[in-house]
């Protein structure tokens, strides 16, 4: 019989089960999720002190009473609201550390049962227990996402995790910030058991009873000593591990490198020894622009993906079938993504050869996942069970959502949409993956254009996490809400964009592409410009991005932009010239760079010689001059986009820049950059580069902002 003693403020319930096993259950009732707080850790500490004095207890089991959440990190909004409360962060973190250290001194074995997401400080929390049991369901995941926001693990993870699973596994988890399922955690030796959800408490009880049967050998004490004692690794081994992980592609900037260095410095200490250092590192990072901007971006992202409705239409997360038409460059990847995320998908291409190429591409992607242990054979078979193909266009008739992903040609798309309109039932949602064609033209093909929108998957330039949902004046809220739900189901961030030339991402990209071309025409080397932008914080330079996007695609986008918006951008001279020379970018291994068979970029001296025929000067700009010119032009254009109501708020543009072009979190986005610089500096830059012409001429929206001198963020 369990007799619980409830602590309503913290959400903790304490009771003693049959067999003298202490049971701690947590349910932060005021919140749909369990977040760590000072109330939680203060009450937990008191309960642990009380239990430590009980000589009759044989063990402790900790679980969450929520069905869909175990422990979802700190309540970051609450933590940020305490910024003006000196010492709050250090007090909270020290109390949390004291709790975890106390757990490791309890005179009996401790077990934690995990059902639901276990994130950040929640994951750090479970490492202090002697045994960890996870549930074999999809919602039970484990992650340390802090590195993506510049925050180091602060509750002893840098010392505990390497001792539990090895330094390589620990650093991989910390450095990637990825979420892992229970089976992966079992494979890494972080979990001791994976069980059915209904058997979680029963198995935890059995585990406590079993380890007590082996009391003479003190098995659980041996595990605890191994976890809390000195870590057996030499300085030479640490240097090798450091070199290995700092060279990883997913460690992208200086702040993330600091996190890796912090982990390596802390792992050789005990948790008690490293506590003060951990807390001071966290607080220093917490005050930085990088972390502040990271959380602003994350709040925007979270608000989007946690939306429950759009306009008056509810957002659904249930999709039983989707059709993808076009087995070219992107269609197979979209169909595979659908199947991986649990959405049955049908890939259609009327050309059997193209469909064959697409299915081959899918199998290659799955083979890579299998070799890297990202997916098991069983999981791949499940994915393939949700994926079907056809060469008959009519086979999409029964699909609730149909996505067109054929060649980027207006006439071809219009012909396809006329055919679809004659066969689909009422209520079917049709969307186009066009990157540039105005949706109003395409929507005119349908008798009911309210169920038509754009669904533009950004190419994998840096972070292929963003999808643009482009609505016309006639697109219904219900159509947009359905597509938002689909994107969230696919674990993408949907941004709703009003129909306009280039939409959002391509318009911003072209501003940078054409301005960098203008700088090169004046005499700069494209490689010097790329190196300057990378030093600023972009993961890739603008000319490398151009090669990845495709020079032919950029020329086409330029034509669309000029037709609809006029020609106030810098001339696209170099793109047109490169197209004539057959330099298409990465796709044919010749662009601004040469590319190896593995797509490694190589500077091309021959290309620099060829460029001299176009260059009209010999300027030698500093990094600062290159960046201030690019950023002020981007800033003016971003204000035009806001003024035209393409998107509603500046934070959406900043998030889009970060997710697709890799705008550095140190600056947070173009509008956050402007706020950091201040209006006096912004106005001086507009005046300094006024000679560039119309592209530096403030629109009415920006002109009013200059008069008001009001910030974009409050």
On the question of pLDDT at 260 being above 60, the answer is yes
How confident is the model at residue 330, as a pLDDT? 87
What's the rounded Cα separation, in Å, for the pair 281 and 615? Answer: 49
The tens digit of pLDDT for each residue in 168-208 reads 888 888 888 888 999 999 999 999 999 999 999 999 999 99
Q: How confident is the model at residue 585 (pLDDT cuts 50, 70, 90)?
A: very high
How confident is the model at residue 631, as a pLDDT? 97
Q: Average pLDDT for residues 156-177, to the nearest whole number? A: 89
Q: For residues 414, 417, 419 and 425, what is the CA-based torsion angle, rounded to 10 degrees?
A: -160
Beta strand spans in 94-218 (E): 110-114, 118-119, 131-135, 141-143, 179-181, 193-195
Asked which of 23-37, 154-168, 178-192, 692-706 is least confident by mean pLDDT, the reply is 23-37
C-alpha distance from residue 329 to each of 142, 349, 369, 433 (Å): 33, 12, 19, 12
Q: What average pLDDT does the structure give for the chain?
A: 88
DSSP element (H, E) containing 576: helix 573-580
Higher pLDDT, 389 or 77: 389
Q: How confident is the model at residue 461 (pLDDT cuts 50, 70, 90)?
A: very low
How confident is the model at residue 216, as a pLDDT? 46
Tokens of 407: 């060649």
What's the rounded Cα separation, in Å, for the pair 275 and 96? Answer: 10
Q: How confident is the model at residue 6 (pLDDT cuts 50, 70, 90)?
A: low
Q: How does strand 12-17 pair with strand 21-26?
A: antiparallel
The tens digit of pLDDT for each residue in 539-567 reads 889 999 999 888 988 888 888 778 777 76
How confident is the model at residue 462, as a pLDDT? 41
How confident is the model at residue 8, as a pLDDT? 59
Q: Average pLDDT for residues 234-241, to the nearest whole number? A: 81
Q: How confident is the model at residue 570 (pLDDT cuts 50, 70, 90)?
A: low
How confident is the model at residue 1, as a pLDDT? 41
Higher pLDDT, 429 or 286: 429
| Residue 43, CA atoms < 13 Å, CB-side half-sphere | 18
How confident is the model at residue 632, as a pLDDT? 97
Q: What percent of the chain has pLDDT above 70?
A: 96
How confident is the model at residue 4, as a pLDDT? 53
On the question of pLDDT at 594 being above 50, the answer is yes
How confident is the model at residue 86, as a pLDDT? 74
- Residue-range domains of the chain with CATH: 5-287 (3.90.226.10), 314-500 (3.40.50.720), 506-645+678-708 (1.10.1040.50)
Q: How confident is the model at residue 459 (pLDDT cuts 50, 70, 90)?
A: low
How confident is the model at residue 394, as a pLDDT? 93
| Residue 581, CA atoms < 13 Å, CB-side half-sphere | 18
Is residue 549 helix, strand or coil?
helix
pTM, full prediction: 0.82
Contact 571, 555 (CB under 8 A): no
Q: How confident is the model at residue 247 (pLDDT cuts 50, 70, 90)?
A: low
Contact 629, 689 (CB under 8 A): yes
Q: How confident is the model at residue 62 (pLDDT cuts 50, 70, 90)?
A: very high
HEC readout, 208-221: HHHHHHCHHHCHHH
On the question of pLDDT at 226 being above 60, the answer is yes
Higher pLDDT, 83 or 69: 69
Place of tokens 């509603």: 648
What's the rounded Cα separation, in Å, for the pair 678 and 238? Answer: 43
Q: How confident is the model at residue 214 (pLDDT cuts 50, 70, 90)?
A: low
C-alpha distance from residue 695 to each of 426, 474, 622, 691 (Å): 45, 31, 22, 10
């Amino acid at each position: 019989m369990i007799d619980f003693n409830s602590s309503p403020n913290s959400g903790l319930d304490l009771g003693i089960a049959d067999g003298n096993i202490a049971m701690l259950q947590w349910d932060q009732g005021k919140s749909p999720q369990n977040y760590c707080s000072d109330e939680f850790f203060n009450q937990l500490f008191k309960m642990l002190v009380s239990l430590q004095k009980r000589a009759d207890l044989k063990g402790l089991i900790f679980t969450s009473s929520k069905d869909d959440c175990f422990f979802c990190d700190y309540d970051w909004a609450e933590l940020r609201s305490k910024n003006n409360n000196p010492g709050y962060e250090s007090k909270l973190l020290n109390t949390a550390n004291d709790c975890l250290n106390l757990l490791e001194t309890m005179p009996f074995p401790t077990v934690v049962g995990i059902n639901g997401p276990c994130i950040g400080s929640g994951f750090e929390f479970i490492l202090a227990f002697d045994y960890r049991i996870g549930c074999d369901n999809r919602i039970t995941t484990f992650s340390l996402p802090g590195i993506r926001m510049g925050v180091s693990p602060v509750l002893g993870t840098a010392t505990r995790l390497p001792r539990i699973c090895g330094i390589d596994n620990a650093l991989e988890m910390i450095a990637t910030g990825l979420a892992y399922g229970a089976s992966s955690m079992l494979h890494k030796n972080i979990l001791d058991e994976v069980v059915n959800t209904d058997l979680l408490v029963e198995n935890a009880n059995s585990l406590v009873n079993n380890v007590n049967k082996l009391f003479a050998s003190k098995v659980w004490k041996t595990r605890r000593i191994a976890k809390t004692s000195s870590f057996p690794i030499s300085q030479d081994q640490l240097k090798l591990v450091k070199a290995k992980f700092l060279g990883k592609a997913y460690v992208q900037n200086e702040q993330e490198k600091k996190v890796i260095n912090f982990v390596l410095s802390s792992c050789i200490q005990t948790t008690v020894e490293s506590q003060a250092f951990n807390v001071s590192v966290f607080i220093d990072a917490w005050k930085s622009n990088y972390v502040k901007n990271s959380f602003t971006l994350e709040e925007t992202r979270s608000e989007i993906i946690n939306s429950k409705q759009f306009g008056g239409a509810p957002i659904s997360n249930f999709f039983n079938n989707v059709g993808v038409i076009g087995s070219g460059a992107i269609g197979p990847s979209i169909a595979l993504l659908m199947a991986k995320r649990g959405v049955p998908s049908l890939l259609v291409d009327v050309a059997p050869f193209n469909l064959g190429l697409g299915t081959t591409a899918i199998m290659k992607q799955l083979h890579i996942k299998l070799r890297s242990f990202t997916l098991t054979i069983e999981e791949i078979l499940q994915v393939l069970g949700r994926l079907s193909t056809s060469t008959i266009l009519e086979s999409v008739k029964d699909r609730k959502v149909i996505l067109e992903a054929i060649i980027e040609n207006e006439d071809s798309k219009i012909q396809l949409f006329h055919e679809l309109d004659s066969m689909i039932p009422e209520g079917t949602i049709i969307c186009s993956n066009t990157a540039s064609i105005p949706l109003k033209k395409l929507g005119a093909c349908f008798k009911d254009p309210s169920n038509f929108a754009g669904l533009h998957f950004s190419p994998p330039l840096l972070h292929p996490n963003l999808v643009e949902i482009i609505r016309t004046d006639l697109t219904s809220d219900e159509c947009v809400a359905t597509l938002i739900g689909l994107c969230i189901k696919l674990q993408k961030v949907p941004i709703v964009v009003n129909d306009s030339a280039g939409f959002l991402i391509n318009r911003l990209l072209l501003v940078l592409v054409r301005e960098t071309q203008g700088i090169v025409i004046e005499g700069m080397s494209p490689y010097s410009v790329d190196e300057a932008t990378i030093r600023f914080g972009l993961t890739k330079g603008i000319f490398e991005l151009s090669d990845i996007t495709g020079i032919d695609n950029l020329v086409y986008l330029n034509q669309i932009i000029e037709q609809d918006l006029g020609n106030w951008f810098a001339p696209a001279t170099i793109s047109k010239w490169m197209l004539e020379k057959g330099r298409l970018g990465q796709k044919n291994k010749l662009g601004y760079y040469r590319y190896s068979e593995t797509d490694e970029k190589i500077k091309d001296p021959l290309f620099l010689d060829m460029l001299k025929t176009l260059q009209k000067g010999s300027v030698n700009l500093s990094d600062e001059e290159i960046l201030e010119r690019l950023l002020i032009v981007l800033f003016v254009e971003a204000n035009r986009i806001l003024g035209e109501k393409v998107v509603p708020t500046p934070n959406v543009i900043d998030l889009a820049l970060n997710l697709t072009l890799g705008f550095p979190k140190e600056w947070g986005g173009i509008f956050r950059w402007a706020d950091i610089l201040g209006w006096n500096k912004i106005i001086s830059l507009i005046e300094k580069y006024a000679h560039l012409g119309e592209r530096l001429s403030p629109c009415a929206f920006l002109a009013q902002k200059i008069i008001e001198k009001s910030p974009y963020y409050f």
